[in-house]
Chain A
Amino acid sequence: MGGALVSVLVLVELDGGEPADASLRALTLARSIGDVRAVVFADAAPQNALAGYGVTDVYLVESSSLEGYAPQAWARTLAGLAAETGATAVLAAGTDRGNEVLAHLGAITGLPMAANCTLVTPDEGKTHRLVRHRWAGLLLEDAVMEAPVALFTVATDSVAAVSAETPASLQLHVHKPELAEADLVVRAAESPAGAGGASLATARVVVGGGRGVGGPDGFAPLEELAELLGGVVGVSRVVTSEGWRPHKQQVGQTGTKITPELYLACGISGAIQHIAGCASAKHIIAINTDPGAPILAHADYAVIGDLHQVIPALIEALRAR
């Protein structure tokens, strides 16, 4: 690179006005590559938080430019800013929106896009070496990307959010993107989602139920235990494909990825489709009749036994405390 500045453009999503946790992780990875410029679609930018993560410039795209989330318009905006700032890489968090916007950016520019990277290293010339998730992180792919601008998203469960040693002095730019009418055809109309208690994705404790629960009527003790522990119930894929519980409770590759302090996996064998969803739990305890169940290779502790006996006894013991 011969001392030339490597400039990285990062799409930052907001959560209650502050950078979303997933975006902080993306900013952390971006800082390991070069100077970081951020793009925020909102009416105000969280300048202190961004400076704390080493962002030198933030481009604020106000909602008067585009009403609501419009993925292609966001991508068009990133394409314009990438050219304007001479970015050698554009990245986003590997969220639904991040992956979608970067896919649009790849299609608009004709460049390759690598989803869910855990490591990106600029190499000679126009190449980056990278490591990315396949099978929702059950496998890692070592890959080489050769492109004038590298596009990628960051696997948010594999990169920690670490602030910069010293905050950057940050410059704010209000940016008006040049958009075509076609960029605004697909636009989100937003309304509050249906009521849904504590969120599975952010729950501190998850009590998981699998085939061993036996049927749709077997979940009451799991619900009771979850409530006692201040948590929620999650289930394996077999439970949702049998129609025992709604899909939104599924933990797994095709369901929700969870990150609780405790995951109590009851009657769950541990197919890797399920492990992909619970591997980021801090602690895992398995309750299973089969001491050879694959879940035991991922758990800290196991109780060998029937969940229909162990869970009521555990509830009793907790209530007696």
Chain B
Amino acid sequence: MEILVCIKRVPTVGGRIAVTPDGQEVDTRASGFSISPHEECAVEEAVQITERDGGSVSVLTLGPEAAIEQLRGALALGAHRAVLLETDGREFGPIATAAAIAAEVRSGNYDLVLLGNEAADTGDYQVGVRLAHELGWPVATGIKNLSLADGGVVARREYRGVEEAYSLPLPAVVTVKEGINLPRYPSLPGRLRAKRAAVDRSSPEWAAEGLRKSALRVPESGQHQAEVLGEGVDAVPSLVRVLEEWGVLS
């Protein structure tokens, strides 16, 4: 099985998130970058499939040259080949992103394309679906369990306490969510291999889209400081009183 996994480089945000003074981006002066969480699981899922059933995993990202760091991260987890669709720093919208990925898929011989259900940063919830339509392939989204069956895949998720199973013929696009597996830590040999691996590159065209960002901002609510009820077990009587006042002790 030939699998392509699409990943995205996103800021690693810890205790707070801030925006650059021009309001156009997340301030990353004090943060590192990582693979968007759902997509890290997509890499793990692809590696597990090829470990069981053979084949190879290619990993792709659309982003600046610095995103090679995330491609190497995925190679260290067991992906075999890496593709950088290099941007000039401008944010690609979901339509242009899907078109750029589709071009790579057509130039390969893939049976399955895995993506995250949504990117941690932009949260557009649509690149996988648009990619599938570009290719004319079936797609399932938000998947928490994936298995191979009869030349196709069965993709499962939960909806309002009901399990939904989707049977897709291959080739297909599947978007996954964190929880589908527990990603491994990269091994030392994996990291060494990743360091040496070649990265294929191309530069897709940026295109304007009908949805245009004006500015980003941090919502005004919520930021304050909690009132400290006390220290250790001495605080328990006040804690019980607060719970009583709120009416949560019934």
> Which A residues have a C-beta under 8 Å from some C-beta of B?
15, 69, 71, 94, 96-97, 99-100, 102-104, 106-108, 110-116, 133-147, 153, 185-194, 196, 199, 204-205, 229-230, 237, 240-241, 243, 246-248, 250, 253-255, 261-262, 269-273, 279, 283-286, 291, 294, 296-306, 309-310, 313-314, 317-318, 321
Shortest C-beta distance, A189 to chain B (Å), equals 5
Q: What are the 5 closest A-B residue pairs judged by CB atoms, nearest first?
A: A247-B179, A294-B15, A107-B133, A103-B126, A305-B232
Q: Are B167 and A189 in contact (CB under 8 A)?
A: yes
What residues of A have a CB within 8 angstroms of the CB of B161 in the complex?
Answer: 192-193, 196, 199
Q: Are B38 and A302 in contact (CB under 8 A)?
A: no
Stretch at the interface among B55-63, B139-147, B196-204: B139-147
Interface size range of chain B in the complex = 35 or more
Nearest to A194 among chain B residues (CB) is B163
- The answer to whether B177 has its CB under 8 Å from any CB of chain A is yes
Q: A99-B125, A193-B161, A279-B222 are in contact. Are A141 and B216 (CB under 8 A)?
A: yes
Q: Are B215 and A314 in contact (CB under 8 A)?
A: no
Task: State which residues 34-64 of B face A: CB under 8 Å.
Answer: 37-38
For this complex, 30 residue pairs linking A to B, each with C-beta atoms less than 8 Å apart, are A103-B126, A104-B129, A108-B133, A112-B94, A115-B124, A135-B13, A135-B26, A135-B123, A138-B17, A141-B214, A142-B214, A142-B216, A144-B211, A144-B214, A147-B211, A153-B125, A186-B139, A189-B166, A191-B162, A250-B179, A272-B16, A285-B242, A297-B223, A297-B226, A298-B226, A300-B226, A302-B226, A303-B229, A303-B230, A306-B232
Shortest C-beta distance, B4 to chain A (Å), equals 19
What residues of B have a CB within 8 angstroms of the CB of A243 in the complex?
Answer: 182
Stretch at the interface among B104-112, B186-194, B233-241: B233-241
Please count the residue pairs between chain A and chain B whose beta carbons lie under 8 angstroms apart in the complex: 265
Q: Are B130 and A107 in contact (CB under 8 A)?
A: yes
- The answer to whether B89 has its CB under 8 Å from any CB of chain A is no
Nearest to A142 among chain B residues (CB) is B214
Complex: A297 Cα to B235 Cα, angstroms: 19
Q: Are A190 and B162 in contact (CB under 8 A)?
A: yes
Q: Are B225 and A296 in contact (CB under 8 A)?
A: yes
Q: Are B14 and A140 in contact (CB under 8 A)?
A: no
Indicate which residue in A110, A143, A194, A317 contacts B240 across the interface (CB closer than 8 Å).
A317
- The answer to whether B231 has its CB under 8 Å from any CB of chain A is yes
Complex: A269 Cα to B14 Cα, angstroms: 10
Q: Are B129 and A103 in contact (CB under 8 A)?
A: yes
Complex: A304 Cα to B227 Cα, angstroms: 11
Indicate which residue in B118, B221, B229, B248 contacts A205 across the interface (CB closer than 8 Å).
B248
User: What 12 additional pairs, Cβ within 8 angstroms, besides A261-B246, A298-B226?
Assistant: A15-B160, A106-B126, A134-B123, A139-B219, A189-B164, A240-B182, A301-B228, A301-B239, A303-B232, A304-B230, A304-B232, A309-B233
What residues of A have a CB within 8 angstroms of the CB of B121 in the complex?
Answer: 134-135
What residues of B have a CB within 8 angstroms of the CB of A262 in the complex?
Answer: 243, 246, 248
Q: Are A286 and B249 in contact (CB under 8 A)?
A: no
Complex: A59 Cα to B165 Cα, angstroms: 27
